[in-house]
Amino acid sequence: MKSTGIVRKVDILGRVVLPIELRRSFNIDVKDILEIFVDSDHVIFKKYEHRPACTVTGEVSLRNKEYNNGLVLSPKGAQLLAAEIKNYLKTENNKAKQKKRLKNPLS
């Protein structure tokens, strides 16, 4: 961990002011949300990044992809959805073929 040489006191309400230099370096603006982590005897602040859950699996990951219509898919969710669509299309194709045979029994 890199030391900045900056030392701050905690006020009576438990607040600590982050110096403007750090806020600028980490692109932290007023009203931004910070996530707080604890690692043994260290407290770590990180700018919060919303990570939506996969619509299919519920998995939360940096690898999830959000599409325009609000659909969020993880790699595993995308595989499951693709397999489901493939199965659906196969079933619909078979239904259409069967319907066609019933309409034209001599063909």
Distance CA 92, CA 95 (A): 5
Looking at residue 24, its pLDDT comes to 94
Q: Is residue 37 classed as helix, strand or coil in its secondary structure?
A: strand
Please name the amino acid found at residue 34: L
Strands 34-39 and 42-47, how do they pair? antiparallel
In tens, the pLDDT along 25-38 reads: 999 999 999 989 99
In tens, the pLDDT along 12-61 reads: 999 999 999 999 999 999 999 998 999 999 999 998 877 889 999 999 88
Residue 106 has pLDDT above 80, yes or no: no
In tens, the pLDDT along 70-91 reads: 899 999 999 999 999 999 999 8
